[in-house]
Structure 1
């Protein structure tokens, strides 16, 4: 169990995973204001955008403008998500220098989310990462595995199937991988069983967890992961989020809930709870005044 001097790194994903599942479009100026508020609260890692086809996810339109408008003089590490080769190309061309590439462990979710099998998605991403790394040597690539534990179409994902996806990212030279409980229904026992398997198979990879919260069990998973030495977690201010292509997906573990829980355990986050509450209030205000997405 981490002691009071130990720290974890939280990545807030409300600007991407949170907003993508809301029925409104939050303008870029408001998204940048949210990023600034999260930074002011002490967040040092923020997933700021997803470079995807706006016809499929209209809430993420304006990704390039968002990337260009992010603060350049604060200590935050802003990441941008890409699902395919075109997304990687758009992200680096827009100036993003930390890109999170994503593939699904569940084949059904991969076809719904990326329009191709997991193997096809990994192959396309791998080629794009190699090209971008050659052209932009300052770019950093991390990875996320969607439906790492449970797929809405295929059910429970075997640890061996998850390991195949992690191997694909490892072959790209990626050393930081987040495992997502996209539906929020995986039990802590299942998460830890799969996590132990991939950590044993890939000792050179730093694994983190991206937890949704269907049954109020996400904090139990956090506790088990902390005790196992995991120090990176994703969460979303206000608990917003979900996946438009994963039926039954629940909202993310709320950043404010996670921070309060970690502080109660004596785990250092560097985040001010009062300022974080202000940021959550801003998210809610921006959503309340946003226009509905076009049907």
Structure 2
């Protein structure tokens, strides 16, 4: 199981700016844990996401000499991707593509068809620069805007991404509506249909539903999960302040109890959790 830790997702909605030095300290602690990938920052408009305006500065200060964790940066357009691929330490470029026309326009100021054109350009850019594009399919488990949603739409969009050569697709539960009844059949259908794509789960959850979601993801055969320590972050459109990111420490504890090898440094994980409390509760 690959664990993708997402401090960028956890931080980006904070009202107060987290000082660059503290971001670096926190990310440095996370790099010692042994996560597969760290979603550490984004190259997007500072007006849209002011919290991430120092991503390049943060990256310049990270010591990557003693970690196996790979770095992922989120972008919202080709211009952001051009910035991101210029940094040698960044391995993955993440782009949020939505199954909802409304959310796509709100999130990246483009229609789905316009976004797909950009995805093709980003994929070409990644291939040229030795990076890998990670596509996040937001509204992957439901739609709050009254637009059509059904599992076949997820499959149809995945087919389009497959035709572009995308190798990693992470289904995103943007509003926290996923349940075992949607998680299991989606992954059990997609994984055998697209065996050359690595599927991931980026789930938002309430404190009472995290375990059933993790159980369903693992039972479905999906072996890539996103989380954020202590469950910070999430999506304001969930309209429920209890809905946040999947708490990494709970996901890890559950998987370890099941005997799933994660190869994480438990001492480093505890230290990172203590620092997370400081970072998020003070901002």
- The TM-score with structure 1 as length reference comes to 0.87
Q: Which residue of 1 aligns with 2:150?
A: 158
Of the three residues 116, 120, 130, the one matched with 1:126 is 120
Gaps of 5+ in 2: none
Distance 1:70 1:153, change over 3 A: farther
Q: Which residue of 1 aligns with 2:193?
A: 201
| 1:77 positional shift | 0.7
Task: Work out whether residues 150 and 157 of structure 1, in 8 Å CA contact, stay in contact via their aligned partners in 2.
Answer: yes
- Distance in 2, Cα, partners of 1:247 & 1:262: 26
- Distance in 2, Cα, partners of 1:82 & 1:48: 12
Q: Which residue of 1 aligns with 2:104?
A: 110
Q: Which residue of 2 aligns with 1:35?
A: 27
- Distance in 2, Cα, partners of 1:260 & 1:47: 21
Task: Work out whether residues 122 and 133 of structure 2, in 8 Å CA contact, stay in contact via their aligned partners in 1.
Answer: no
Q: Note the alpha carbon deviations across 1:138-165, whole angstroms, 9 max, x for none.
A: 2222221111112232367211222232
Distance 1:247 1:261, change over 3 A: closer
- Distance in 2, Cα, partners of 1:247 & 1:221: 17
Distance 1:106 1:196, change over 3 A: farther
- Distance in 2, Cα, partners of 1:86 & 1:168: 22
- Distance in 2, Cα, partners of 1:254 & 1:154: 29
- Distance in 1, Cα, partners of 2:60 & 2:158: 31
Considering only aligned residues, what root-mean-square deviation do their CA atoms show, in Å? 2.0
Distance 1:217 1:156, change over 3 A: farther
Structure 1 runs of 4+ aligned residues shifted over 6 Å read none
Q: Which residue of 1 aligns with 2:46?
A: 54
Distance 1:286 1:215, change over 3 A: closer
Task: Work out whether residues 105 and 145 of structure 1, in 8 Å CA contact, stay in contact via their aligned partners in 2.
Answer: yes
Alignment of 1:116-265 (within 5 A): 116-134=110-128, 136=129, 138-154=130-146, 157-214=149-206, 216-243=208-235, 246-248=237-239, 250-265=243-258
Structure 1 SS opposite 2:12: helix
- Distance in 1, Cα, partners of 2:207 & 2:26: 27
Distance 1:266 1:128, change over 3 A: closer
| 1:271 positional shift | 1.9
Distance 1:169 1:264, change over 3 A: same
Aligned length: 279
Task: Work out whether residues 17 and 241 of structure 1, in 8 Å CA contact, stay in contact via their aligned partners in 2.
Answer: yes
Q: Note the alpha carbon deviations across 1:243-276, whole angstroms, 9 max, x for none.
A: 35x3427211111111111111111211234432
- The TM-score with structure 2 as length reference comes to 0.90
Gaps of 5+ in 1: 1-7, 291-295
Task: Work out whether residues 100 and 144 of structure 1, in 8 Å CA contact, stay in contact via their aligned partners in 2.
Answer: yes
| 1:21 positional shift | 1.9
Distance 1:36 1:131, change over 3 A: closer
